[in-house]
Structure 1
């Protein structure tokens, strides 16, 4: 299982939100590009870049910063999202050199667009974000709850050709209390490969996720920024397990 550092951007700075709450923000760096380069220098093979401004407004806002990050980390793959709700937005990010584009709200509200995106760009260049609280899906920057279960959406996405989802337990995001291993295991049985997010606070949490068949990666944010887990070389970003 690969560990992917998160670079969340809001108002031009590198931040983390607690449980997706924009009112509970911690600023970790004024320069997201320098932070991305820092993780790349430590051997991270992937970066997870989120345009939080875009997630809230419904269209990408930080395209220049995303582009600068991609250029600053040659040899590192970048997946990026936040407010991606059209084929044009996906195309713009891919044109910047992003390896995978993360789409969330639109997958639930316009599943036909997901199928169109797969036909146009290929399944390997897309990740569908399924963000949930108590198993119920949240959309529009996590500010709106939908009356549908996360597993149901995962199954729907698999049926239209989605290969990879990014699953976040909002209640655990930024808490470092431990990931929702049970949720990740259920989603991994839905016919999709899972990138797990939310709650990682120590190396043992990564080992637990790596033990789930079908979980190929884990996103880590606050635990990295606050030194709870400190990778020093490229091999540290890979954790053994069943996945």
Structure 2
């Protein structure tokens, strides 16, 4: 399993939210491009970028900044989420050089768009983002909670060609309280590759995630920015359940 640093963008800054609450924001840097370079310098294998303004407004709002981030980390694949809700949005996002796009709200509300996106760009380049609160899926930048169960959304998306899911437990995100391991394992049992997100604060959390079959990556944000977890070499970003930190 690999660890992927999160880079959340709001108004051109690198920030972190607590439990998806836009009113509980902490700014870590006014220079997201430099932050991206620092993660590449430390050996991170991927970069996970979220356009928080886009997620809230419903369209990709910071593609110019994303393009500068991608250009600043040559050879490092970038996956982008936030506000990607049409094929045109996806075209524009891929045009700035991202490697993968995350469909969140659109992936939940428009299964036909999921099928179109997978057919157009390939299953390896389209990820379903499932943001959950108490087993139900949230949309529009986590601001609206639906009645849709997580399992039903993923099963539908898988039928439309989705092979990979980013699962975020909103109540754990930004809290350092530990991931929701049971929920993540339940998602993995649905037959998709899983990128786990939310709550990681310690090496033990990463080891436990690595032990869950089909969990291929963990996105980590606050623990990296606050220094609870520190990575210095490319090997550190690869985790196994048996040895934890280091080569897997």
Answer yes or no: same fold by TM over 0.5: yes
Q: How many residues align?
A: 243
Aligned-residue offset at 1:95:
1.2
Misfit runs of 4+, over 6 Å: none
The two structures have a TM-score, normalised by structure 2, of 0.96
Aligned-residue offset at 1:172:
0.3
Residues 18-76 of structure 1: CA deviation (Å, up to 9, x unaligned): 00000000000010000010000000010000000000000000001100010000111
User: Quick one: distance in 2 between partners of 1:152 and 1:109?
Assistant: 12
Aligned-residue offset at 1:241:
3.5
The two structures have a TM-score, normalised by structure 1, of 0.98
Q: In the alignment, which residue of structure 1 is the partner of 2:175? A: 175
The reply to whether residue 77 of structure 1 matches residue 71 of structure 2 is: no
Q: In the alignment, which residue of structure 2 is the partner of 1:13? A: 13
Aligned-residue offset at 1:12:
0.5
Q: In the alignment, which residue of structure 2 is the partner of 1:200? A: 200
Aligned-residue offset at 1:232:
0.6
Q: In the alignment, which residue of structure 2 is the partner of 1:235? A: 235
The reply to whether residue 87 of structure 1 matches residue 92 of structure 2 is: no
Q: In the alignment, which residue of structure 1 is the partner of 2:163? A: 163
Structure 1 vs Structure 2 CA RMSD: 1.1
Residues 72-114 of structure 1: CA deviation (Å, up to 9, x unaligned): 0011110001000000111111111100001100111111010
The 5 A counterparts of 1:143-162 are 143-162=143-162
Residues 91-146 of structure 1: CA deviation (Å, up to 9, x unaligned): 11111110000110011111101001111111110111000001110000000011
> Could you say what secondary structure the match of 1:174 adopts?
coil
> Could you say what secondary structure the match of 1:165 adopts?
strand
User: Quick one: distance in 2 between partners of 1:23 and 1:149?
Assistant: 26
The reply to whether residue 60 of structure 1 matches residue 60 of structure 2 is: yes
Q: In the alignment, which residue of structure 2 is the partner of 1:35? A: 35
Q: In the alignment, which residue of structure 2 is the partner of 1:120? A: 120
